[in-house]
Structure 1
Amino acid sequence: MKTTFTARHFEASADLQQYCRDSVEKLEQFYDRIVMCDIILEPTPDDDAPQQAELVVKVPRKVLTAKESATSYEQAVHNAIEVVSRQLKRYKEKMNATN
């Protein structure tokens, strides 16, 4: 799986980038044919949840996305990973049902 990391309007630390990449790699336990994953982090004007994480996961014949906001980038990434993992499970079930 190819992974790209984008930090919009701020400079992401090496630790934050590594945390994001490690978290995304865990998605492969739900579906092993993930082609590519884009991680996009950016601040938002919302005072309650000022950090936003967006995941764009490309699998054969489909693109799964999740956009979550939280008080920290780590929490936002964690929430987005949970959303995408549910989408991957559903996608995998559909693929197995059609085969």
Structure 2
Amino acid sequence: MAQSPLLSKMRTEIRRQQYSYFTERAYIKWVVQFVKYHNMQHPSELDEEDVLRFLIYLEENKEYSLPIQKQALCALLFLYDRILNKPLKTLSRPQVFES
């Protein structure tokens, strides 16, 4: 199965940054889930509100724990910051998951 140029670029950057293999797998998985959630729309066409909507979906519909939600956020922050050069300013703050 052919890999998308986006995922290929992401893998290359993750490896260049010397992240662990497990982090690479997790980040790729979260990006794929994010794209599927948004009906296969390319992440460059989505914005911070779309990321937030995905995170809320993970919490409310999937009932993922806070550490899992944070991992998803880190993957998407990496994608937008390092791959798409479109940083998510509001979601980058540490208070995102504070109630």
Query: TM-score of the superposition, structure 1-length normalised?
Result: 0.35
Whose RCO is larger (CA < 8 A, sep 6+)?
2
Q: Counting strand residues as a fraction of each chain, which structure ranks higher?
A: 1
Query: TM-score of the superposition, structure 2-length normalised?
Result: 0.35
Q: Counting helix residues as a fraction of each chain, which structure ranks higher?
A: 2
Structure with higher Rg: it is: 1
